[in-house]
Each structure stands twice: as C-alpha cells, then as structure tokens.
C-alpha cells in the first residue's frame, strides 16, 4: 500500500470459511473493533495471532489494541455484526469467490497467497490498463 500511495485502494471483505470454525467470530470481533474506531489495528492483531480466536482471546486482543473492554464484549456477545459478515459471504458466493484469500484487482481475480512480485505485476498491469 505504501509503495502505491494514493494509486491503490484496498477494500477488505469477510469470507469466513465453514471449515474455519473460529473465523466467523473473529470477523465479527474485527467489526466490533471497527465500530469502536480501531478496525485496522485489531485486524492486524488477528492475523498476527492466528489461529487463537477463542472468545477470551478476542477480548484480550481488543484490550491490547486499546479498545474499551465492556462495549467490545457487549458487541461481541450480541453478535451485532453477524448479518454484515453474512452479507460479505453472500456477495462472495454471488461473485464465485470460494477460497481465501481471493483478491479482485480492478475486478480481475487473483487467488491465493502469492509472492509479492506477482502482486506487484498484477497491480502494475491494472495501473497501465487504467491509464
């Protein structure tokens, strides 16, 4: 993102796979963090902490990233963002996205965690095409 400052926008969407039982609560927790103004720090914390996503872990990460415990815990318990996560899952299904991570670079699918050089090449292609 820093390398392409101002020329690339990243939109994160949740696609918790059914085989990853703790991915959905983690996605909902990240949105709770977002509602409290700390989405990206919490998001990064979750990726660093994979796959320890039990409820107590999620709350501990929230406190560690500077979130207030009580409102975060309440948001998580109420599953306030369950439908928002489900909306992303439905959209992925409609787009034919079935595995994670899947990237759509100006709409072109780029599937799987690939070497950074491949990303750079795909982004450069998209920038050239956008001119």
Residues that bind other proteins (CB under 8 A): 1, 4, 6-17, 20-23, 26-27, 30-31, 34-35, 37, 39-40, 46-47, 50-51, 53, 84, 87-88, 91-92, 94-95, 97, 100-107, 123, 126-127, 130-131
Which residues lie across from 108 on neighbouring strands? Answer: 105
Query: Least CB distance from residue 47 to other proteins, whole Å?
Result: 7
Helix (H) or strand (E) holding 67, with range, is none
Instruction: Report yes or no: 36 and 67 within 8 Å, Cβ to Cβ.
Output: yes
Residue 110: is it exposed, middle or buried by C-beta count within 10 angstroms (0-12/13-18/19+)? middle
Pick between residue 38 and residue 73 the one whose CB is nearest to other proteins.
Answer: 38
Nearer to other proteins, 50 or 66 (CB): 50
What minimum distance in Å lies between the beta carbon of 70 and other proteins?
A: 20
Q: Please state, in angstroms and as integers, the Cα–Cα distance from residue 121 to each residue in 4, 60, 106, 116, following that order.
A: 12, 38, 13, 9
Report, in Å, the least distance between residue 74 CB and other proteins: 18
């Amino acid at each position: 993102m820093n390398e392409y400052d101002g020329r690339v926008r990243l939109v994160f969407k949740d696609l918790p796979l059914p085989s990853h039982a703790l991915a959905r609560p983690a996605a909902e927790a990240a949105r709770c963090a977002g509602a409290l103004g700390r989405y990206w720090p919490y998001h990064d914390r979750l990726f660093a902490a994979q796959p320890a996503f039990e409820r107590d872990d999620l709350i501990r990460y929230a406190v560690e990233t500077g979130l207030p415990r009580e409102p975060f815990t309440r948001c998580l318990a109420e599953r306030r963002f369950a439908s928002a996560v489900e909306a992303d899952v439905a959209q992925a299904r409609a787009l034919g996205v079935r595995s994670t991570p899947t990237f759509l670079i100006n709409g072109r699918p780029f599937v799987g965690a690939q070497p950074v050089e491949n990303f750079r090449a795909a982004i450069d292609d998209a920038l050239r095409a956008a001119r």
